[in-house]
Amino acid sequence: MKILIEPNVHLFVDIEGVSLVTDTSIMREKPTLILLHGGPGYDHASFKPAFSQLSDIAQIIYYDHRGHGRSDHRPIDELTLDTLADDVVRLCDVLGVKKPIVLGQSFGGFVAQRYVARHPEHPLKVILSSTAPNFRLARKLEMFEQLGGLDAHNAAKQFWTKPSELSYNIYQKVCSPFYSAIPLLNKNGSLRTTFKSDILFRWINGEYQNMNLLPGLANAKCPVLVLAGTLDPVCPIGASRDIVTALPEQFVQFEQFSDCGHGVWRDDPDAAFLKLRQFILS
């Protein structure tokens, strides 16, 4: 369905599971888990069907960021981290959601970090999955070379410095296999995804270049779970360690997964979803 969050702005939203469940003589309210997808330029499809397994303990809200996927088309200049972070609050206001648990994957983690900085009192908990606080191209290139040699290093450098349809196609062929430790299992997810390359290319040349989310993380006022894979080339493990250091010590929980890439819940689903389940229920 499409939800109007402000004049002329509809977000595509999908909701899985009920909010109220019967518990003997009372109606018990489950927490609401809001999923912020990666990209930019992609949609929420990568979360399905994996996250359905959490619907027994949380109501799950999937949505496409403003201007993305099945949400209304919007001018690319409007798709800033500030606007996308504020959209989390706007969507909650419209749906009547109080104190959500917000999970941001990759680019969705950029949005979640900005959300923490701008709206620290809003979430119940936050989960930052395979994300980073800044661009740090050298880190990416080092990991791509470690995993795929000079070919991967050069293809990544060309794409991240000169994004285009050509450099992206080469990057997808040479570099994307190193995103995941089990890439063959994730192909169907990518086929289901709606992709808008113009958003991605503009983002790389724009806000991403000087992005620094670290100072805002000090504003966190709720538990924050940071998930990271040691073999993630695009948001390397060092980026997650920087996030952990920037968060208030009393709120942060850091879980790193050996031999996992970009999205530990894809590469080691049993262990990752166990951690997610424990964090949601804690």
pLDDT at 181 (0 to 100): 83
For the chain, the domains span: 2-134+197-281
Domain 2-134+197-281 has CATH 3.40.50.1820: yes
Q: DSSP for 65-102?
A: PTTSTTSPP--GGG--HHHHHHHHHHHHHHHT--S-EE
Confidence of residue 188 (pLDDT cuts 50, 70, 90): low
Amino acid at 253: Q
Above pLDDT 90, what percent of the chain?
91
Per cent of the chain over pLDDT 70 is 97
In this predicted structure, what is the pLDDT of residue 25?
Answer: 79
- For 19-57, what is each residue's pLDDT tens digit? 988 877 788 899 999 999 999 999 999 999 999 999 999
Structure tokens at 85: 């972070």
Please check the confidence at residue 186 and state whether its pLDDT lies above 60.
no
Q: Which residues contact 137 (CB under 8 A, 6 or more apart)?
A: 157, 160, 161
What pLDDT score was predicted for residue 169?
A: 97
For position 174, what pLDDT does the model report?
Answer: 97
Distance CA 198, CA 2 (A): 23
- Please, which pLDDT band fits residue 183 given cuts at 50, 70 and 90? low
Model confidence pLDDT, tens digit, residues 242-254: 999 999 999 999 9
